[in-house]
Amino acid sequence: MELGKLGVWYFLDGLPAGEAARAAKRIEDLGYGTLWIPETVGRHPLVHASWLLANTEKLNVATGIANIYHREPGVALAGQMTLAEQSGDRFLLGMGVSHKPLVEGVRGLDYGPPVATMRKYLEGMDSAPYNGARPPAQPPRVIAALGPKMLELAAEKCDGAHPYFTSPEHTAMARKILGPDKWLCVEQKVVLETDPDKARELARPVAQIYLGLPNYRNNWLRMGLEESDFENGGSDRFIDATFAWGDVKKIQARIQEHFDAGATHVCIQPVNPNGQFGDLHWEALEALAP
């Protein structure tokens, strides 16, 4: 699988199926290598991936991320193998442990120790039987990894890691732990707005979604931010560390910082200045296209 240097990460759950398919095709036509889709309380990510893969020709589709609490390891393996075989190796399974408030508070499930739970899950996938038609090669998998121990597990058991909502400094730390050969697929939120106040105000509603989730907060603290940076939608320092905003050249420079720090692939998540869920900011995607 060739991920391409640049990809797109976005919630397409708010779009009807036909519009989502057309959006994926347009992303493909712009030259992006991979489309990353999440899993929260919307569409089933593997079913959605199947639809998007069926409506594109070259674009890879990756889950960023599929929540391991939502399906047992053998089901995840079967979905991975099926989609890879059907699409001609254009599916990348990205998995993660999510967050305790979502797993327990929303789903009513028991949240276990993150690294131990993920290790057991990956081992369960490796030992699960699968008798369906197989793709030509074993399909790849990555895990959502922020802290050192989860990154070590990604290096040991996966093809790489998919850090979300981080910084180039975090990318450098992740590359050091992963070693030289593993994929490092970094998500980067972008705001095509040159006015600092406007850019930060556009970023804050997006950040607010994540500010109460402990795995992200712990990682931002590791990155050198402080608890006070998480108040009122995020301080200017927090926004500037985790969002790329400005004109095209400034955003491209931030993306290049990730590559210089060791990223294999950067998937950009454009913030729409209109604030509409599911409405991609095509101006940004067109301006930043490979």
Residues 137, 32, 259, 274: is their CA dihedral positive or negative?
negative
pLDDT at 278 over 70: no
215/145 Cα distance (integer angstroms): 10
- What does the pLDDT read at residue 274? 82
Residues contacting 29, CB < 8 A, separation 6+: none
pLDDT, tens only, 108-143: 999 999 999 999 999 999 999 999 999 989 999 999
pLDDT greater than 60 at residue 5: yes
Spatial contact of 118 and 150, defined as CB atoms under 8 Å apart: yes
Task: Tell me how far apart the 2 most distant CA atoms of the chain are, in Å.
Answer: 56
pLDDT of residue 279: 83
- The answer to whether the CB of 117 falls within 8 A of the CB of 125 is no
Question: What does the pLDDT look like over 203-253, one tens digit per residue?
Answer: 999 999 999 999 999 999 999 999 999 999 999 999 999 999 999 999 999
> What single-letter amino acid sits at 30?
L
The pLDDT-based confidence of 276 (bands split at 50, 70, 90) is low
Confidence check: pLDDT of 69 > 60: yes
Residue 126 CB neighbour total at 10 angstroms: 10
Q: What backbone phi and psi angles, to 5 degrees, belong to 83?
A: -70, -40
Q: Is the pTM of this model over 0.95?
A: yes
In the chain the domains, ranked by start, together with CATH numbers, are 6-288 (3.20.20.30)
